[in-house]
Amino acid sequence: MVGALFTEEEIKGRFLDFFEIAQEFCECYNEGAPTLVEVDPALLYMVVTATYDDIGRYKAYHLSDPVHQRSNAVKRAAYATKWLLHFDPLIFPQMGHITGPTGHTHDALANAMFAIHFSLANLQQFTSEKFDLSKKMYYDLMYDLVFRQLNSDALILIYEMIADTALGNKLIE
Amino acid sequence: MAMKTRDQIAAIYTEVASKEGLLYHVAHARKDNTDKDYDGQQLREIAQERVKSDIKKLRDAAGTFRERSLPRP
């Protein structure tokens, strides 16, 4: 069922988009950085296929016409976050145990940062609103993605709340 | 507690699975949040537009780790 929801050609298209976005992120991330980050294609492939397997399962269960209806970008953000943090496709080849430099400030956070960036781009597309998070929210998200276990259901809810806030929909009355 | 017969359990099923009650609909609830077609070009453009700002803000927020750490004695 899931296989029927996304063709090989669609998965390839999603992979190309994902790779370009990741590559652009690395380019900007590397400006002035002592250790360069890059995309590991094999790990990114795992992220993309696992993300769309999850989206396919979601669609099959929740949508009355999963073949023709499209799940919204909140799911893409949530499931991509889940698998980006699982596979860590942004890597630092120079951080070898023998020759590479070690201990740069942000390297341990690179995949969490990319997951947040990718998600915010999706949420901006979904809401048609350009927005930033507060500094506290960026920190809280990074912390939770690195140290806690937010499952995909929790991520969907968090991203829906962010999208609703961006749209001006009240979360409390 | 008296053991229920299979017929009695079937009657219970009919009761809990009645479409007249809310329970049936709770059991079958879905979250049907759909959207327009995927637009990868627009997504790439949005990501490109905001990537520098996101990295700057994320690195700025990452400084909070320093403020909130509790170093071991």
Q: In terms of residue numbers, what domain contains B53?
A: 6-68
CB contact under 8 A, A61 and B30: yes
> How large is the angle between the packed helices A73-87 and A152-166, nearest 10 degrees?
130
CB contact under 8 A, B48 and A63: no
Q: Residue B73 domain-assigned?
A: no
- Please indicate whether residue B20 or residue A100 has the higher confidence score (pLDDT): B20
Average pLDDT over residues A84-94: 89
Give me the pLDDT at residue B35, please.
80
Average pLDDT over residues A56-63: 88
pLDDT digits (tens, 9 = 90+) for B47-65: 999 999 999 999 999 999 9
Q: Is the pLDDT of residue A1 over 50?
A: no
pLDDT digits (tens, 9 = 90+) for B25-43: 998 888 877 788 899 999 9
Distances (CA, A) of A153 to A81, A148, A156, B51, B71: 11, 14, 5, 26, 33
Which chain B residues are closer than 8 Å to A74 by Cβ?
Answer: 33
Q: Residue B1 domain-assigned?
A: no
Residues 13..32 of B with a Cβ closer than 8 Å to A: which? 30-32
Q: pTM score, two decimals?
A: 0.89
Which chain B residues are closer than 8 Å to A125 by Cβ?
Answer: 39, 42-43, 46
Count structural domains, chain B: 1
Which chain A residues are closer than 8 Å to B56 by Cβ?
Answer: none
CB contact under 8 A, B48 and A117: no
CA distance B1 to chain A (A): 38
